[in-house]
Amino acid sequence: AKSVKMKAAAEEAAAEKAERAAAAAAAAIDETDEAQQLEAVVPHIPVEKFALPLQERSLQDLAVQVYRYGEERAKNSTMLCQIYHHALEDRFFEARDLLLMSHLQETASSLDVALQIMFNRAMAQVGLCAFRAGMVWEAHSALQEMCSSSYSAGGANARMKELLAQGIAIYRGMDKTPEQEKSERLRQVPYHMHISLEFLETAHLVSAMLLEIPNIALNQLRGVGMKRRMISKTFQYFLRNSLKQRHPGPPENVRDHVMAASRALMKGDWKQCYEFVAHMRAWRIVGGATATPTLERLLALIKKEALRTFVLTYSTYYDSLSMSHLSELFDLPEAKVHSILSKMITNEELHASWDQPTGCIIVRRTEPTRMQSLALQLTQKCSQLADHNERLLEA
């Protein structure tokens, strides 16, 4: 009985196998018939496997084709995509050259909303690329307009979200129609394409700190009557509010960390300044591969600006400064200290001269007296009054 059952099971398995083979053969015949029918109906479409030699057609070649034969909107869109791609791959100079060559920053306000969003995202990525490369002046220039408008619009990154199409901003007293809300939602970029707003704010404020703190020390050294140069109004507003606090608490957000770092940098304390910068949450967001080299470049910049701030702030209390002592104090090679101070003397930021045998810098007393400061201040106010009168006459 067992042998009969086994024989029957084997016959059933063989029959199922034969049925499957017949079905596969019929499917192959059907596919062949469909291909022949397709060739008969549309003879100009060859039925063959699709293969594109991607190695030979790079992004640059495809972009050149659009620049040659595309419409104006397609050219602008391709240019912005290419700028974004270069900045994302840390090729700052290529992205900057394309941006300056295209003159898109001059016509950005006349573009449609979709291209304006692409332009904002490209500028944000160019600023982050410059910040990662340690070029704080370029990073601040690229991010200043976007981040400053966000602070003036009420903060909380609401304006920045709207400019980058990463969220919908709701303003008090402004009602949107359902059509406007629907169009805004359709313009939102997917989450995996979002740019970190916290890293953007970090890049902007840290760049402003490294530029503005030595500038404030230089303005204080030059005296009351001299014309003051302002780099970032937003940063100076935050710093004034921070300095008004008698007992500042521990930093909680990006702004608090940068203001605490700024107070340390104003004293020339580069170690504490770097600790505040390195403990920001934005570095954990971007990951170690990006954070480690960026922090190394920022450490070198913080040491340099701390040295400049220290010399500008306390030079009036010294007759001479030893290069070896400054090298130990700021953990910089003597050649680097010599280069920084020589550049300050050349740019007339510091009135001093080198004493080569002793390796010291001799400080000259050139600060104005009280009478000279008041005279300079009076001259500046008179020139402002004359300019105001001229504007009234022209109006």
Residue 70's CB: how many other CB atoms inside 10 A? 14
Sign of CA dihedral 294, 300, 305, 306: positive
Q: Is the dihedral of CA 269, 270, 272, 277 positive or negative?
A: positive
pLDDT tens per residue across span 160-217: 888 888 887 776 666 777 887 788 888 888 888 888 888 999 999 999 999 999 988 8
CA distance 218 to 351: 12
- Average of per-residue pLDDT values in the chain: 81
Residue predicted with more confidence, 72 or 368: 72
- Pairing status of strand 352-355 against strand 360-363: antiparallel
CB 360 within 8 A of CB 337: no
The model's pLDDT over 26-51, given as tens digits with 9 standing for 90+, comes to 655 555 555 555 444 444 444 444 45
> How deeply is 241 buried, as exposed, middle or buried, from its count of CB atoms within 10 A (0-12, 13-18, 19+)?
exposed
Which among 317, 294, 313, 293 has a CA at the least distance from the CA of 305?
A: 313
Q: How far apart are the C-alpha atoms of 82 and 79, rounded to whole Å?
A: 5
What is the pLDDT, as a whole number, of residue 274? 93
Q: CB–CB of 277/289 below 8 Å?
A: no
- Ordered alpha helix ranges (H), the chain: 2-41, 59-69, 72-88, 92-102, 104-107, 113-132, 136-152, 158-163, 178-187, 197-222, 233-243, 254-266, 270-278, 282-286, 288-314, 323-330, 334-346, 370-394
Q: How far apart are CA 287 and CA 267, in angstroms?
A: 31
